[in-house]
A and B are shown apart, each in its own frame.
Chain A
Amino acid sequence: QVQLQQWGAGLLKPSETLSLTCAVYDGSFSNYFWNWIRQSPGKGLEWIGEINHNGRTNYNPSLTSRVTISVDTSKNQFSLNLNSVTAADTAVYYCARGGDTPMILTYWGQGTLVTVSS
């Protein structure tokens, strides 16, 4: 059973860096892309980016200047860093596994609410 468990700081001040990590259990880590998605309160989903086990990344063009996604294959974990956060970055952040075809999200983490407030 594939499980994704995520964690990270839930309260940030403006200009700080958001950092989240997602651990993958029984997920065939080497075979898929691993994604981050966010959802602002009461709003829709926004894809942030993805990474594979080799460290190849793809990012949302609107966030690419502030986003870094990294991978630790020894721990089957991947991480999200988003710098210079503002209140607009307040959202529930999800990690998710890709699928056998491009750009599908098959298994999701539980979500982490990150609030940016002074």
Chain B
Amino acid sequence: QSALTQPPSASGSRGQSVTISCTGTSSDIGGYDYVSWYQQHPGKAPKLMIYEINKRPSGVPDRFSGSRSGNTASLTVSGLQAEDEADYYCSSYAGSNSLLFGGGTKLTVL
């Protein structure tokens, strides 16, 4: 099992939209609907932002949305705000009751 592939960095201006990709294989992202996204601010524990590809937990702003095409999942943050600056990690069920994470993307809000 290899980690899912994310770009190391992404950026966007306040009010704009940014999309972060997460590429896997047909054995993980492409094979199951259990794709999630986590937000992590420095020194803090991660926070669940998206699960099952495009569902938001209660309390997560609808500016955050998820999608999938083939073996690539994406997180889109619309109307960027300063507090969105953080690291973002994707994860996917990888079969055999195991979980894979991506390497993380550092989002900078300009």
Binding site for B on A (CB under 8 A): 43-47, 58-62, 94, 96, 99, 101-106, 108-111
Q: B45 near A44 (CB under 8 angstroms)?
A: no
Cβ–Cβ < 8 Å partners of A60 in chain B: 98-99
Kindly state whether residue B12 has any CB partner on chain A within 8 Å: no
Name 6 interchain pairs, CB-CB below 8 A, sorted by A: A44-B89, A45-B91, A58-B98, A101-B34, A104-B48, A104-B52
Cβ–Cβ < 8 Å partners of B98 in chain A: 47, 58-61
**B4: min CB distance to chain A, Å:** 9
Kindly state whether residue B31 has any CB partner on chain A within 8 Å: no
How would you classify the secondary structure of chain A's contact residues: helix, strand, loop or mixed? loop
Given contacts A44-B89, A44-B104, contact A62 B38 (CB under 8 A): no
Q: B45 near A110 (CB under 8 angstroms)?
A: yes
Q: How long is the Cα–Cα vector from A37 to B12 in the complex, in angstroms?
A: 30
Q: B104 near A102 (CB under 8 angstroms)?
A: no
Number of residues from B at the complex interface, CB < 8 A: 25
Closest residue on chain A to residue B4 by CB atoms: A44
**With A94-B45, A104-B36 already in contact, 12 other A-B pairs whose C-beta atoms are closer than 8 Å:** A43-B103, A44-B101, A44-B104, A45-B101, A47-B101, A60-B99, A62-B1, A99-B51, A105-B36, A105-B38, A105-B48, A108-B45
Closest residue on chain A to residue B55 by CB atoms: A101
**A9: min CB distance to chain B, Å:** 20
**B52: min CB distance to chain A, Å:** 6
Q: B48 near A45 (CB under 8 angstroms)?
A: no
Closest residue on chain A to residue B103 by CB atoms: A44
Kindly state whether residue B30 has any CB partner on chain A within 8 Å: no
Cβ–Cβ < 8 Å partners of B99 in chain A: 47, 60, 103
Closest residue on chain A to residue B51 by CB atoms: A104
* Residues of chain B from 28 to 56 with CB closer than 8 A to chain A in the complex: 34, 36, 38, 45-48, 51-52
